[in-house]
Amino acid sequence: MIILHVDSSITAENSVTRSIGEAAIARLRTLHPDAEVRRRDLASDPLGHVTLGDLGDASIAEEFLSADVIVVGAPMYNFSIPSNLKAWMDRLAIAGITFRYSDKGAEGLAGGRKLIIASARGGFYGSDTRQAWLDHQETYLRGFFEFLGVTDIAFVRAEGIAMGPDARAKALEDAKTQAAAIAA
């Protein structure tokens, strides 16, 4: 088994998503002791905005497709995702490799793998909140990866990170409990 571990938070050792992602990786290592974990840190090693020259390069998509499980640390930045994570995703969606258009419409080609998203946000965006419509982070990630055919998507989430130290600690603790319960 190959696990790809991707991070995008800029806050290094203070990062909630990095901490949750580590907990998910620890759980996966327990479940799959022989797994190989490959690492991509988009904050310390950014890819840069996608350019015309990048369009012929499938190496990032191939790295993604080589993995059976992908763990992505994805904080909410300005109601969406960090631009370094978007730059990675811009290199994943390649017609003929991760999706294709046929007479039936768009078809994802990247199914058969599991995606675990380590999510954190300062506020609350659940369906029972007034801000729910501003969640262009988790909704975007789900829509994008489902477009590529990845339907096995689990969110491990810490919300209310900006609501004070107690709320932050509890959210992180809850998320680590969720990570420890990852089934496969």
Ligand X SMILES: Cc1cc2nc3c(=O)[nH]c(=O)nc-3n(C[C@H](O)[C@H](O)[C@H](O)COP(=O)(O)O)c2cc1C
Nearer to ligand X among residue 77 and residue 88 (C-beta): 77
The reply to whether 144 sits near ligand X by the rule CB under 6 A is: no
* Encoded tokens for 97: 């490799």
Residues 5-34 interacting with ligand X (rule: CB under 6 A): 9, 11, 15-18
Q: How many residues bind ligand X (CB under 6 A)?
A: 17
- HSE-CB at 48 with a 13 A cutoff on CA atoms is 4
Rounded CA gap, 6 and 4, in Å? 6
Tokens of 102: 């046929």
* CA neighbor of 90 nearest in space, from 116, 118, 53: 53
State the Cα–Cα distance between residues 35 and 148, nearest whole angstrom. Answer: 24
Q: How far is the CB of 99 from ligand X (least distance, A)?
A: 28
Q: Which is nearer to ligand X, 6 or 110 (CB)?
A: 6
Q: Are 95 and 64 in contact (CB under 8 A)?
A: no
Asked if residue 120 binds ligand X (CB under 6 A), the reply is yes
Contacting ligand X (CB under 6 A), which of 109, 122, 147, 174? 122
Report, in Å, the least distance between residue 146 CB and ligand X.
23
Which residue stretch of 29-37, 51-59, 83-91, 119-127 sits at the interface with ligand X (rule: CB under 6 A)?
A: 119-127
